[in-house]
Structure 1
Amino acid sequence: MDIKEEDSRELKDHPRAQQERLAHIDFMLYFLGELRRQDVAERFGMGPSGVTRDIALYRRFAPGNCEMDPAEKVYRPTPNFQPLFKHSARRVLTALSEGFGEGLGEDWEAMLPSDTPLPLTLPDVAVLAPISRAINRKLAVKLHYTSVKSGKTEKTLVPIALIDTGIRWHVRAYDRDHEEFRDYVLNRMENPVALENSPAGKGEMANDDEQWSRVISLALVPHPSHPRPGLVCMDYGMRDDVLKIKVRAANAGYMLRRWSVDCSPDHHLNGIEYALWLPDSFALYGANNAQLAPGYKDPRELAKSIQAL
């Protein structure tokens, strides 16, 4: 929830809980085109008098934003409506498609008809909980982990972050056995226990992980073989036919695969899913998982192969 700059000073004098209620009023008017008193009462567990005060306060800050529809007894946005808050598109889409919720059950009601592909795999919350506690409190965890190469082994990790690769959830962690930072799949973990007497030590925290701390700037363009490059520019909101993004080096390969970006130097991946191309493969230099990016070839290896011709 962000207050628009011109309204921020006075609004921030009000309690945070009230700001959240005003943001909800703003949301309902802006994205659903209607606000009923019970929308606020049910969402925040308030009585009628409290709802009346909040709506009056909202109308004081934004006097031209809504008017009462007497026939249906509902507030509606006016043609001159201007949102009082800055709304994150990501959060708005989550609310519209999944509803609001704070972990009280799983059957949240969508606010609009929608369909979001279900993830094929989600971690067990009994595994996730001790990992998230350890990240928050900067503790080590002991667990059993099954890998393709080593099978099941016991590990002591210092987890620093969660990573959604688009396919599965990973944990970025310092491995005390291998003495380096690596990625571990949550679903391959068993019986993690946060070690209360084993805090993260020197060289084991997030700011010690060079791959996590390093941010790479990438410039993506419409794929040269795409039949309508202008449409790609529209799809991705490009400026001057370029989409500029920043990713952590630790996540670069995962993200480029997730976005189906052709990273081959000669843009030879021609499937319809490849709408984007990375012209400068040197931008991924030093990213340990760059090889996960579609079509990526290490520029150093390419240079050697050219010299050998």
Structure 2
Amino acid sequence: MEDQPVTIPWSTQKRLQFLEFKLYWEGKVNRGDLTAEFGISIPQASVDFTKYQEMAPQNISYNSSAKHYEPAETFSPIFIELSADAYFSTILCSPTESIATCGSDYVAAVPNPSRVIGLNVLKILVQAIKNKQVVSVDYRSFNNPQAGNTRLISPHAFGTDGSRWHVRAFCHESNSFKDFVLGRIASAVMGSESDIDVNSDHKWLNYAEVVIGPNPKLSEAQKSIVAMDYGMTDFELKFKCRIALLYYLMKKLGIDRNGSDRAGEEQHIVAINFDEIQAAMRQ
């Protein structure tokens, strides 16, 4: 996907993005698709198709017998990302963010109950990050579940494990960088300017290599299936992760324990460099 300068209205960009999405993934698109999705007129839809043809003439061709547009062999996207993740993310999006019809009857996702985050708390944390300020938070943890557990923090980033969000911040009580679950912050009050150098949060700024592979307890045929599932090369998949997020990654993938202690049917993948990951987390 090529970067496009913002030279056309946002609403037009969304329609052209939808047009390109349908063109590539479904193999055809016509003016009726645009009018049905966005409630625009046929003349406006014609203008949009003309605009797209001007921007990417190599992408689109008209099938006069079928009366729809099709992707050309030289198709190269200018609005969408060509990946499976991007496709499913678009299909599963909420209607207010739609560039394609959401809630399709052929795509579904397991419900993921959202954690409640106070908007005022989030707004204060965002502004504190932008302005480098200290925040006083009433934080509820399992060790201190009662109200009034006030802490002074200097936030500098947000992180997520895909299920819940936390704020990465320097805790002035423990004199260290920690993660605070956003849903457990009952209230937040902006304080003075922070003198904390966020560049000293080495676990956030530095990355560790993670190497996963099929569980050794699987059969060779089963290992091949796992390798195909994850796109492994020589039964290994290597990628980088912020050291501060390693704990969440390992929990999510189920590689937080040594794979040799678990049956293959229970855990399909293991961390091949488990000891190195643990060492990085202890730094």
Fold match by TM threshold 0.5: yes
Aligned position for 1:254: 248
Q: Distance in 2 between matches of 1:187 and 1:40?
A: 39
Amino acid at match of 1:90: D
Q: Work out the CA distance in 2 between the residues paired with 1:184 and 1:202.
A: 17
**SS state at 2:89 partner:** helix
Find 2:85's aligned residue among 64, 82, 90: 90
One-letter amino acid of the structure 2 residue matched with residue 147 of structure 1: S
Greater relative contact order (CA < 8 Å, ≥ 6 in sequence): 2
For residues 15 and 170 of structure 1, what CA distance do their matches in structure 2 show? Answer: 36
State the distance in 1 between where 2:124 and 2:32 align: 38
- Distance in 2, matches of 1:98 and 1:69, equals 33
Provide the rounded CA distance (Å) in 2 between the counterparts of 1:58 and 1:115.
Answer: 31
Corresponding residue for residue 215 of structure 1? 207
Q: Is 2:263 the partner of 1:267?
A: no
Offset of residue 233 of structure 1: 0.8
Alignment equivalent of 1:130, drawn from 124, 127, 130: 124
Per the alignment, do residues 63 and 281 of structure 1 end up closer, same or farther by CA in structure 2, a change over 3 Å counting? closer
Structure 1 residues 185 and 64, CA gap change in structure 2 (3 angstroms): closer
Is the partner of 2:187 in helix, strand or coil? strand
In the alignment, is the contact (CA less than 8 A) between 1:211 and 1:288 conserved in 2? no
Q: Deviation of residue 162 (structure 1)? A: 2.2
Equivalences for residues 233-248 of structure 1 within 5 A:
233-248=227-242
- CA–CA separation in structure 2 for the residues paired with 1:22 and 1:87: 15
CA distance in 2, matches of 1:162, 1:83: 34
Answer whether contact 2:215 2:270 (CA < 8 A) is retained.
yes
Give the counterpart of 1:109 among 81, 102, 110.
Answer: 102
Distance 2:194 2:30 in 1: 50
TM-score with structure 1 length normalisation? 0.74
Query: In percent, how many aligned pairs have the same letter?
Result: 24
Between the aligned partners of 1:65 and 1:269, the Cα distance in structure 2 is 52
TM-score of the aligned structures, taking structure 2 as reference length: 0.80
Match of 2:181 among 182, 185, 194: 185
Counterpart-to-counterpart distance in 1, 2:170 and 2:42: 52
- RMSD of Structure 2 on Structure 1 (CA): 3.2
Cα distance in structure 2, aligned partners of 1:24 and 1:89: 16
Decide whether aligned partners of structure 1 residues 157 and 44 sit closer, same or farther in structure 2, where only a CA change above 3 A counts: farther
1:3-82 correspondence to structure 2 within 5 Å:
3=2, 12=5, 15=8, 17=10, 21-40=15-34, 48-60=42-54, 61-63=56-58, 65-68=60-63, 74-77=68-71, 80=73, 82=75
Q: Secondary structure at the match of 1:124?
A: coil
- Is the 1:96–1:112 Cα contact (8 Å) retained in structure 2? no
Which residue of the other structure, out of 276, 279, 283, is the alignment partner of 2:272?
Answer: 279
Write out per-residue CA displacement over residues 5-32 of structure 1, whole angstroms, 9 at most, x where no aligned residue.
Answer: xxx7xx6595474665433321111123
How far residue 270 of structure 1 moved from its aligned partner, in angstroms, is 1.2
